[in-house]
């Protein structure tokens, strides 16, 4: 089974001193075989804004993300791509990617692909 999601520009909600945005939510019914999650997105952040991207499965952060600082100039753009293989139990699972930053985060575009590997 395959699920693909494309989002246009979305802006984060302010949560205290940190912004958080969840993008590309997908639900997939799995049979217990490994699931490949691939996400790409364009992040716009304020100057000196570091951001972290975290894959979410069933609303819980899992390994496969990363962090970095964008830079000191205005209008910094970062293209982020992540791919990770997960072992999951049989059943319905929800997938997404969360981006957080010390200030405002804008995800200009994103693609999330979730694919259960075939039986060999």
Domain assignments of the chain as residue spans, ordered by start: 2-113
- Banded model confidence at residue 19, pLDDT cuts 50, 70, 90: low
**Which pLDDT belongs to residue 71?**
62
Residue with tokens 């590309």: 24
**Residue pointed to by tokens 């985060």:** 105
CATH, domain range 2-113: 2.60.120.660
Rounded Cα distance between 118 and 107, Å, is 31
Residue 32 clears pLDDT 70, i.e. is over it: yes
CB 53 within 8 A of CB 65: yes
Residue whose tokens read 């997960």: 86
pLDDT-derived band of residue 17, with 50, 70 and 90 as boundaries?
Answer: very low
Mean pLDDT confidence for 63-69 = 76
- Quick one: how many helices (H) and strands (E) in the chain? 0, 11
Count of C-beta atoms within a 10 Å radius of residue 108: 15
80/53 Cα distance (integer angstroms): 8
Looking at residue 84, its pLDDT comes to 93
């Amino acid at each position: 089974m395959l699920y693909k999601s494309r989002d246009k520009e979305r802006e984060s909600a302010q949560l205290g001193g940190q912004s958080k945005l969840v993008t590309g939510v997908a639900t997939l019914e799995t049979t217990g075989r490994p699931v490949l999650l691939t996400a790409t997105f364009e992040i716009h952040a304020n100057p000196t804004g570091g951001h972290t991207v975290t894959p979410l499965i069933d609303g819980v952060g899992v390994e496969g993300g990363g962090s970095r600082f964008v830079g000191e100039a205005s209008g910094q753009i970062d293209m982020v791509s992540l791919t990770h293989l997960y072992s999951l139990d049989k059943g319905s699972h929800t997938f997404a990617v969360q981006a957080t930053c010390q200030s405002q985060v804008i995800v200009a575009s994103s693609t999330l692909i979730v694919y259960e590997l075939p039986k060999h």
